[in-house]
Each structure stands twice: as structure tokens, then as C-alpha cells.
Amino acid sequence: MTRSHERSLHELYRRDPERADAVVFGRVTDQSRRGFLGGAGLAAMGAAIGLQIPFAARMPSGLVPVALAQAPAAAPRTLTFPGKAPGLTLLQERPLVAETPEHMLDDAVTPTEKFFVRNNGLMPENVPADPNAWRLVIDGEVNTPLTLTLGEMRQRFPIVTFQLQMECGGNGRAQFQPEARGNQWGNGAIGNAVWTGVRLKDVLNAAGLKPSAVYTANFGADPHLSGATDRQSISRGVPVAKAMEDHTILAFEMNGQPLSLVHGGPLRILCPGWPGSVSHKWITRIWIRDREHDGPGMTGTNYRMPRTPMVPGAEADNANMAVMESMPLRSIITSHANGTELAAGTRQVALRGAAWAGEKTVRAVDVSLDFGQTWRSTTLGQPANKYAWQRWETQLTLPSRGYFEIWARGMDQDGTMQPHTPANWNPQGYGANAMHRVAVLVRS
């Protein structure tokens, strides 16, 4: 005899929210529910959380309280690595992948020790003791192929410094149901650092792009996980127009210090607003091609999104997939971790967060305290420069003690808002950008 087994409250709601309410909170009639939890269910949910829910009457049917939905079955592993802050979540050891929890992103400029880590292969070992000896080759559809050391680049081209956000293409992947392939990122595969380097366009202009130049193909020194010397860990690229954008740089400093090995030093590309995989670490060669690049990480479903929506969980039609370019709109709350317990009697909450939108700017960030029934605008700052994230802040008043969810919703320059749930499911889980929800609790 087989027995159905639901592994967690989250999975129970994911499979069938209506049935989940009946199982967890008791049978609720359509008349009593009318789209929201009934009185008995509210009492049971409050008991599960351990607090009353002042805005429970506004809670949508089937909604799992974020304090429960995001509670892991086991304590997450944390990263232990030289130069990295305690508290980063270790998602994978080989290759090394670590996420920054949202509440650790409360700095206007992300400290290097708090910046997320995403490798695709192994970190190179044969790095020159003198970073200025690092070499980069520019070839392909150029008039004058170049081989330049980092020292020569410093001397030959203007040095620029920008605040630039960089985000993994799979940021938010854990939001998708059914589960997509890859590291199950929350919202923390993002950082906004101060980067210093030379503009890639200045180097490409020195090489002289031919009229046939269409796409870059980037190659790095990171060995393949298999150890095979004839295989690339990843080789992605961008259209020449993006490579020639003023803020696409060859970076050799991060937050005023030489770029560390774990973050791609001595030299990496920084291609802001697009998936972080095109900001190639340990860059050694940029091959200018006369067509869209087809290296590892460029074909099939890799860093590609459906042109027209597909059935979640279905097999992808590669002909329907297009290269992912601009990252989606996202806003996060950084002042409070999910599950924060506030001091007894707290009624005023100072909120802060960050927002960004790939190639676009953010027009507004709103927050809600009553499960999205009403929204309050925040004070939104301007980016330090193009492609820097924008900080926001506001004050909220809590009406009483209890369990509260704070939701954050961004709007971009075109009026597009973040969705309640992730849209455009795809096999690799790119582009999930649902509203950020954080639970805060006042017990007395």
C-alpha cells in the first residue's frame, strides 16, 4: 500500500492551496472563506505562527505566511572563505557558489566581503604574482589584433570608476514552481560595488572593429570542473553594441582594492544590467565574431528565455528560446531579515531597501503591510550612475502587536511592476522577480 507524503507546508500549498487550507486549518466552506481564510483557519494559522495576525482578514486564500514558507527544513550551510563575511549562504562548493542574504545587503555600496560568489569552473592557480603581468588577447573581426598586459592597459587607456550592480541570471530561481534547474537562489545573487577599470570600448577601438563585428566571445582562465584542458567552463558574450556601452568595463579594482581572485582578479569584464555570467572572470581573450556566439553557456536553454510562454515543467523548444539580456526589475527589503522579532511595544518601523531594473531605472517602490490590499510609497533615491542600484526608505506604523508581513514592490520607468509570483517559467529558472516579503513579529 502506498501512502501520499507531503514533505513540507510549502510543498502542500504549492501542490493544492485549497486542499492545504483544509488539511492544515480544517475544512472551510466557500461561504465562510469568500476568497480569504475563515475564522477557524485564521486562529489555527495564528497558532502555527505563535502570534495573532492583525491583517488576517486581508490574507489571500492559499497564501503561506512567509515566516513559514521560507523556513528551511535544516539550517543553511554558511560559507567559510578567506576575506568573506560570516553569514553568506553556501549553495555549492564545486564550483563555489554563495549567496548574500537580503538583510546583509543594507549598505549603499556592497562591501567586498559581503558580495555574492558565483563560479562556473575552478579558480585558476597560475596567476602572476604581479597583476600587471596578466595578459588579454583581442582578436577576430578586428583590424589590429592586440595582446595587452594589465599594466599596459592602465597606461594606455583612461581609467574609470563606477558604482555598478551585478546580478546572477538565476537570481530568484527558488521562487519557481515546479523547481527549475540550478542553484536555488533567493534574492541575494546581487551586489552593488565600486568598480575601477578601463572601458572595453576603448580597447576595442584600439583594435579597430571591422564592419563584420557582431558579437563578443569571452574566454577565461578558470579550469573546467572535469580537469579537461580542452574544455571551457563557460564562454559567453554580448552584442557589440553592449560591449561598446560606456559602463561595460575591464575591471581590475573592486571597492578601491585590487580585484581578488575569488571575484575574478586580476582582470574581469563588468557588463552591468545583464546576467552576471557575461561579466567574465579571469578574462584572457575576447574574440570578436561575425555572428552570435555559440560557446558553452550560450545555446539550448542556457541563459536563454522563452520568446512565448511555455508550460511550466515542460520540455523547452530551443527554437523558442532567446538569449537573456537585460535583467528584470527587482526590489528587496534590506533593513530587516525575515522573521525579525521587534522590541515589545514597537509601533514605528524604519524600512530600507534597494531596487534595480537591468537596463532600465526604477520609478517607484511601494510597500504593503496588509498583504497587498493597500500600498504606501517610499522615498526612492537616484542611482549614483547608470546601472547602480537605487536605495529606498520609509516609515511604517504597526497598529498593534502580532505577526506582520512587509511586502515590497518595484515599478520601472515604463510602469511595469513586480509580480506577486514569478512569471515566464523556464527550465533554467531565469528572471524570477516576485515581490519580496519579510515577516516581522511583535510579541507584546
| pLDDT 10s digits, 134-189 | 999 999 999 999 999 999 999 999 999 999 999 999 999 999 999 999 999 999 99
Which phi and psi angles does 2 have, rounded to 5°?
A: -95, 150
Q: Please check whether the domain covering 89-323 is classified as CATH 3.90.420.10.
A: yes
Categorize the per-residue pLDDT at 67 as very low, low, confident or very high, splitting at 50, 70 and 90.
confident
Supply the pLDDT for residue 65. Answer: 84
Look-up: residue for cell 581590475? 252
Q: CB-based contacts of 358: which residues, under 8 Å, 6+ apart?
A: 273, 274, 325, 326, 327, 328, 329
Element (H, E) at 24: helix 17-25
> Taking 90 as the threshold, does the pLDDT of residue 42 lie above it?
no
pLDDT digits (tens, 9 = 90+) for 215-257: 999 999 999 999 999 999 999 999 999 999 999 999 999 999 9
**Are 429 and 173 contacting, i.e. CB atoms less than 8 angstroms apart?**
yes
List, for residues 337-365, the tens digit of each pLDDT value: 999 999 999 999 999 999 999 999 999 99
Residue 198 has pLDDT above 90, yes or no: yes
CATH number belonging to domain 330-442: 2.60.40.650
For residue 131, which phi and psi values (nearest 5 degrees)?
-55, -30
Return the exposure string of 119-146: e unless at least 16 CB atoms fall within 10 Å of the residue's CB, then b: bbbbbeeeeeeebeebebebebbbeeeb
Which region holds residue 55: left if phi is over 0, alpha if psi is between -120 and 50, else beta?
Answer: alpha
More confident residue, 133 or 64: 133
The SS3 of residue 180 is: coil
Q: What's the mean pLDDT in 86-113?
A: 97
Q: Under 8 Å CB-to-CB from 284, ≥6 apart: which residues?
A: 135, 136, 137, 219, 220, 221
Cα 326 → chain centroid: 12
Extents of the domains making up the chain: 9-69, 89-323, 330-442
Confidence at 50, pLDDT banded by 50, 70, 90: confident
Q: What number of CA atoms fall less than 13 Å from residue 255's CA on the CB side?
A: 15
Compute the distance between CA of residue 267 and CA of residue 280 in angstroms, rounded to an integer.
Answer: 9
Q: What is the 3-state composition of the chain as percent helix, strand, coil, each rounded to the nearest 5?
A: 20, 30, 55
Whether residue 158 has a cis bond before it, omega within 30° of 0: no
What is the model's pLDDT at position 64?
A: 81
Average pLDDT on 15-26 reads: 51
Q: What is the pLDDT of residue 76?
A: 84
pLDDT at 40: 53
Percent of the chain with pLDDT over 90: 83
What was the pLDDT predicted at 397?
Answer: 97
Please calculate the CA angle 161-141-216 and round it to the nearest 5 degrees. 45
